Structure 1
Amino acid sequence: MIGNNWQTFGVRRHIDSLPSWIKPIQADVTVADCPETWPEQKLDYLVIALAPNERSEAAYRNLYVDGQRNLYQWLAQHQQQPKRIFFVSSTAVYGQSAGEWVDELSMTEPERWSGKVMCEAEQVALNSGFPSTIVRLAGIYGGKRQAFLQRVKEGYHADGCTNRFTNRIHEQDAADLISHLIGLDAQGVLLQSAYLGVDDLPVEQAQVVSWLQQQLGVHSVAEKVLQPAGGSKRCNNARAKATGWKPKYADYQQGYLELI
């Protein structure tokens, strides 16, 4: 893990929620012009973790593809050569939907537009001219990310739909994995081009709902049916764990119990 003596910049459209130890840079990466407050000094690492304003193909491509290219232009303008780029991607790049196990060597042939755009964005990072590592995260939860938990509280259920495997990672574990990889690179450890950021237990959506209902003491409301998981695959985190990282929240029960 990286130490406390690092200077960290945070580029965001809205900087109010950044912690005090991060130096804020208010900017929108979809705007080509480099912000005036962009740092002039050497940058060792760039972590690209983007969040679109809306869920549409146009918004995704504008942010993940075009916005990412803008970032590289800003680096070029300032003659900055980071030691490594970390691009935060998604397990949506996998199109497997029959409960298959997938890892970093599995084929990435998504059927949905979101996965296709993320595949394109990964290639932009890998072809950026900088050493690059892709971190593919599964469904992030924890902290303010409690939408799924809230839906179960409201009576949403999986309608008995089984054989739909889901994968997730607590937000603290996701941040820790990226920090861990940066620390390894800084120590001269050779990193792979991609890592899966998931917990230890892929699980059926219906099983998660049933367990949460028991913990919360709530019941299904007949007309409130959750949208089925977008795919059905089981993600293997062995490569990430082989680096010495392990999730603090090894499965959904550990993570959600703390939230509850």
Structure 2
Amino acid sequence: MNVAIVGCGYVGKTVARYWREELGLVVTVTTTTPARVAEMEAIAQRVVVVKGNDTTGLESVIKNQDTVVLSVGAANANVYEETYLQTAKTLVEVLKQTPSVRQVIYTGSYAVYGDRDGAWVDEDTPVAPANANGQILCDTEQVLLSASGENLRVCILRLGGIHGPGRELVKIFGRVAGTTRPGNGDEPTNWIHLDDIVAAVEFARLHRLQGIYNLVDDAHLTSRELLDRVCEQHNLPKVSWDASLPKVRPYNALVSNQKLKAAGFQLIHPETI
């Protein structure tokens, strides 16, 4: 079984290691940084230095592959279109010439739901991106889904906030301990552990999932609850809240994970903390 991972950052690298070491799959990974090749060679049989808009380069990556994972991440807000949308468009063009690929899995974001004032959303909820980069993420999903066909399934995983080894919650939130945050902390959070992302990618590959699936844990703690627990666990001063200060968070929704669970997926870490 040949599998390719386009974009090998925090998530892609972990999926590659799991597929090669635990399942014995033949793994090809990409990076845009030549200096990372040696690091990538430890987790994949083949490493290709390629940018997402390089048609010839991507053709060489996905030739003779069975499954392709698109797991790119933008270095900053200014390169969203180049990182996500242009890569997706190039990949879809290349897929037309690559009949061996039967499954595409894309790790996207629940950011496409935008600000729902804390209401529940699921995969049937219309997207409502809060800004231009959210719209780019929506467009990326649609471009990829357009490649679906009788012989090719496309699975979009809308991820919550990612935490795990090296990206622990205390590392993410420790710097705000003892500070005052805008709002009252009552907006829900949606998180997912790295282990569950790896497991869901494999679940999607194994079951050839088609369509959109939310990938978040069961906890849905409010921001206040989450920060209180992080601070308590690590003996840090608690965060204060000031409702007179305007909120700046563009995403505010309770994201349902029922569709993926109904398909048979079981979370390894159902609780955020």
TM-score when normalising by structure 2: 0.78
Rate the CA distance shift 1:37–1:94 in 2: closer, same or farther, 3 A. Answer: closer
Rate the CA distance shift 1:151–1:65 in 2: closer, same or farther, 3 A. Answer: closer
Question: Which string of whole-angstrom CA distances, capped at 9 and with x for unpartnered residues, describes residues 131-179 of structure 1?
Answer: 3111110101112223x52253334356362221110100111111011
Query: The residue matched to 2:85 in structure 1 has which SS?
Result: helix
Aligned partners of 1:80 and 1:177: how far apart in 2? Answer: 24
Q: Letter of the aligned partner of 2:162 in structure 1?
A: I
| Residue in structure 2 matched with residue 136 of structure 1 by the alignment | 158
| Residue in structure 2 matched with residue 195 of structure 1 by the alignment | 213
| Residue in structure 2 matched with residue 150 of structure 1 by the alignment | 171
Choose the corresponding residue for 2:201, options 178, 185, 198: 178
Matches within 5 A, 1:16-165: 16-18=38-40, 20-35=42-57, 38-39=60-61, 42-56=64-78, 59-76=79-96, 79-129=98-148, 130-146=152-168, 148-156=169-177, 157=179, 159=181, 161-165=184-188
**Hey, which of these two has a bigger chunk of strand by percent?**
2
| Residue in structure 2 matched with residue 208 of structure 1 by the alignment | 226
How many residues are matched? 242
Rate the CA distance shift 1:228–1:212 in 2: closer, same or farther, 3 A. Answer: farther
Rate the CA distance shift 1:90–1:158 in 2: closer, same or farther, 3 A. Answer: farther
Unpaired stretches in structure 1, ≥5 consecutive residues: 186-190, 254-260
Query: The residue matched to 1:133 in structure 2 has which SS?
Result: strand
Aligned partners of 1:177 and 1:7: how far apart in 2? Answer: 19
Cα distance, 1:101 vs. partner?
0.8
Q: 2:48·2:61 contact (CA, 8 Å) conserved in 1?
A: no
Rate the CA distance shift 1:16–1:145 in 2: closer, same or farther, 3 A. Answer: farther
Q: Letter of the aligned partner of 1:153 in structure 2?
A: G
Q: 1:25·1:37 contact (CA, 8 Å) conserved in 2?
A: no
2:266 is the alignment partner of 1:250: no
| Residue in structure 2 matched with residue 168 of structure 1 by the alignment | 191
Question: Which string of whole-angstrom CA distances, capped at 9 and with x for unpartnered residues, describes residues 100-150 of structure 1?
Answer: 11111111111222221110000110112543111110101112223x522
Q: 1:196·1:235 contact (CA, 8 Å) conserved in 2?
A: yes
Aligned partners of 1:19 and 1:237: how far apart in 2? Answer: 35
| Residue in structure 1 matched with residue 5 of structure 2 by the alignment | none
| Residue in structure 2 matched with residue 6 of structure 1 by the alignment | 25
Q: Percent identity?
A: 20
Q: 1:198·1:237 contact (CA, 8 Å) conserved in 2?
A: yes
2:252 is the alignment partner of 1:219: no
Aligned partners of 1:105 and 1:5: how far apart in 2? Answer: 36
Q: Letter of the aligned partner of 2:206 in structure 1?
A: G
Tell me which moved more, 20-29 or 191-200: 20-29
Unpaired stretches in structure 2, ≥5 consecutive residues: 1-17
Aligned partners of 1:115 and 1:45: how far apart in 2? Answer: 26
Q: 1:169·1:199 contact (CA, 8 Å) conserved in 2?
A: yes
Q: 2:189·2:220 contact (CA, 8 Å) conserved in 1?
A: yes
